[in-house]
Amino acid sequence: MKHIKSENLSLSDIPNENSSWEKIIKFASTFDAPNEIKSEANISSIFDIEKSNTIPEMRLALYTEWRRYNHVGDFIEKETPKKSQEVIGWLREKVKNR
Q: What is the pLDDT of residues 25-83, one digit of tens each?
A: 999 999 998 899 877 778 989 999 999 999 999 999 999 999 888 777 666 788 999 99
Taking Cα atoms as reference points, which of 94, 87, 32 lies closest to residue 61? 87
Domains of the chain, residue spans: 6-97
55-72 vs 80-97: helix axis angle to the nearest 10? 150
Burial of 23 (0-12, 13-18, 19+ CB in 10 A): middle
